[in-house]
Chains A and B, each alone.
Chain A
Amino acid sequence: MAIKLHGSWMSTATLRVGATLYEKGLDFELVPVDLSAHEHKQENFLSLNPFGQVPAFEDGDLKLFESRAITKYIAYKYKEQGTELVGANFSEMPIIGVWMEVEAHHFAGPSTKLVWELCIKPMIGIPVDETVVEEATGKLNGVLDVYEARLAKNKYLGGDEFSLADLHHLPNIRYILMTPKASLFTSHPHVSRWWSDISSRPAWTKAAALSDAAIPKQA
């Protein structure tokens, strides 16, 4: 198989790439990386990503890491098939690009902290740091206030059409909705409307089902 995705369906960054591959209708092989055994920190994996984080990606001879670089590559390389993810015209590109950066620099920070504190730590038996949760909640709420204003006037973050700017949010929101902090999203009506739309896409439904199957069942 030419396309290989090294990662775990539990990982938000792996899900980000998986959703993109499904949106494009591409065949690929998921090469499992055992995070609980710290396989991502061992030499074999470090040769794919020297920062020891999933996912890593191969398409023929090309090797990449960093999920947002991978999704962009897929969106441009396979532009003519599946869902358009980076704007049909160049004129749409700057605004889609802006909201991709907003996700990366404003949304990802506090949302990743909440996923770590409220989802991952309980799974691996580390106590939650309530100070971090409170600070991240405040920051994320401020970000979602900006999103609420944006989505009151636009169907999607990039404009009229679904794009990577929306897709990149899917994994972290999915996890946060499993926690008491789901109220951050339900308290913003336009954000809720947007979430219902983007999370019901078939590509995401497929990726989310794989993630469900990968999460260890609590007793």
Chain B
Amino acid sequence: MVALDFRVRGRFVSSVVGCIVRMVVKLHGAAFAACPRRVAACLYEKNVEFELVNVDLFAGDHKKPEFLQLHPFGLVPVIQDCDLTFFESRAIIRYYAEKYAGQGTDLLGKSLEDRATIEQWLEVEAHYFNEPAFSLAFQVLYAEKLGQEPDLNVIKSSEEKLTKVLDVYEERLSKSKYLGGEFFSLADLSHLPFAHYLINDSGKGYLFHDRKHVSAWWEDISSRPSWKKVLEL
């Protein structure tokens, strides 16, 4: 706890010195895109004011030279906050969750041990849930729009992977209200965008609703006011 307190004080000083005129955080992305939605959800939870700067993904704006100056891999989102420009949605949400630890929802827990467990499940989302969820959502929602035949093998293998992952989640959530413990955290928040695509847009809701604890967890986290606001962007 001492280390956390020190960092809170350090943050306040560096925020005042670095940005005398309060500027609104700029979130470059598209309102429908998963990774910008992940960041927007976090900013709403932390009551951080931001402006969504639209990037036309279908026109390929994110691959043009001026955008590559902001993000060398040409992806959304990118954050501009005073003189800080950075990217990678999970780096962004960790930064704001810590910078504004004292306001809005506590997304990192109360101790280093809480934080470690949250980080573990955030890594699980990134390395086990994300890829099959993205692949499945892409094939079902976007393949045809981009002139491709949906790849049935990818759909099948992605569902198989997600089934195994959600079985682990079911076991975890039978013992713990949320992934990181008894409190909502970044680990749960990070799932919102792709789980929403799968359940609401892709007809794959049964993967979640067929599992009692996963289903209850989804009902809970998706009904948070911050997530509803994200969907209205």
Tell me if A184 counts as interface (CB < 8 A to partner B): no
Inter-subunit contact A94/B91 (CB<8 Å): yes
Inter-subunit contact A68/B123 (CB<8 Å): yes
Q: How far is the CB of B108 from chain A (nearest CB, A)?
A: 11
Tell me if A50 counts as interface (CB < 8 A to partner B): yes
- Of the candidates A76, A91, A101, the one whose C-beta lies within 8 Å of that of B91 is A101
Tell me if A106 counts as interface (CB < 8 A to partner B): yes
26 sampled A-B residue pairs with Cβ under 8 A? A64-B116, A64-B117, A66-B119, A66-B120, A66-B123, A66-B124, A68-B123, A69-B119, A73-B119, A76-B3, A76-B115, A77-B112, A77-B116, A90-B11, A91-B14, A93-B95, A94-B86, A97-B88, A98-B88, A98-B91, A102-B73, A102-B88, A104-B127, A105-B126, A146-B73, A149-B72
Complex: chain A residue closest to B10, CB-CB: A90
Complex: chain A residue closest to B167, CB-CB: A50
Q: Mark B161-183, 1 if CB is under 8 A from A, else 0.
A: 00000001001100000000000
Q: Mark B76-93, 1 if CB is under 8 A from A, else 0.
A: 000000001011101110
Tell me if B210 counts as interface (CB < 8 A to partner A): no
Inter-subunit contact B116/A62 (CB<8 Å): yes
Tell me if B225 counts as interface (CB < 8 A to partner A): no
Complex: chain A residue closest to B124, CB-CB: A66
Tell me if A17 counts as interface (CB < 8 A to partner B): no
Tell me if A72 counts as interface (CB < 8 A to partner B): yes
Chain B residues contacting A90 (CB-CB under 8 Å) are 7, 10-11, 14, 98-99
Tell me if A178 counts as interface (CB < 8 A to partner B): no
Inter-subunit contact A104/B126 (CB<8 Å): yes
Complex: chain A residue closest to B118, CB-CB: A69
Tell me if B27 counts as interface (CB < 8 A to partner A): no
Complex: chain A residue closest to B96, CB-CB: A94
Inter-subunit contact B124/A97 (CB<8 Å): no
Within 8 A of B (CB), among A84-109: 89-91, 93-95, 97-98, 100-102, 104-106
Tell me if B136 counts as interface (CB < 8 A to partner A): no
Chain A residues contacting B3 (CB-CB under 8 Å) are 76, 79
Tell me if B94 counts as interface (CB < 8 A to partner A): yes
Chain A residues contacting B73 (CB-CB under 8 Å) are 102, 106, 146
Complex: chain A residue closest to B94, CB-CB: A97
Chain B residues contacting A97 (CB-CB under 8 Å) are 86, 88, 91, 94-95
Number of interface residues of A (CB under 8 A): 31
How far is B114's CA from A77's CA once the two chains are assembled, in angstroms?
Answer: 12
Enumerate chain B interface residues (CB-CB to A < 8 A): 3, 7, 10-11, 14, 18, 72-73, 84, 86-88, 90-92, 94-95, 98-99, 112-113, 115-117, 119-120, 122-124, 126-128, 168, 171-172
Chain B residues contacting A68 (CB-CB under 8 Å) are 119, 123
Q: How far is the CB of B164 from chain A (nearest CB, A)?
A: 9
How far is B7's CA from A79's CA once the two chains are assembled, in angstroms?
Answer: 12
How far is B139's CA from A82's CA once the two chains are assembled, in angstroms?
Answer: 47
How far is B87's CA from A100's CA once the two chains are assembled, in angstroms?
Answer: 11
With A64-B116, A76-B115 as known contacts, state yes or no: A91 contacts B18, CB within 8 Å. Answer: yes
Within 8 A of B (CB), among A135-168: 146, 149-150
Inter-subunit contact B122/A98 (CB<8 Å): no
Inter-subunit contact A66/B88 (CB<8 Å): no
Complex: chain A residue closest to B93, CB-CB: A97
Chain A residues contacting B127 (CB-CB under 8 Å) are 66, 104
Inter-subunit contact A73/B10 (CB<8 Å): no
Inter-subunit contact B95/A94 (CB<8 Å): yes
How far is B3's CA from A79's CA once the two chains are assembled, in angstroms?
Answer: 9
Q: How far is the CB of B74 from chain A (nearest CB, A)?
A: 10
Inter-subunit contact A101/B116 (CB<8 Å): no
Inter-subunit contact B120/A101 (CB<8 Å): no
How far is B87's CA from A135's CA once the two chains are assembled, in angstroms?
Answer: 25
How far is B14's CA from A128's CA once the two chains are assembled, in angstroms?
Answer: 52
With A95-B86, A97-B95, A104-B127 as known contacts, state yes or no: A72 contacts B116, CB within 8 Å. Answer: yes
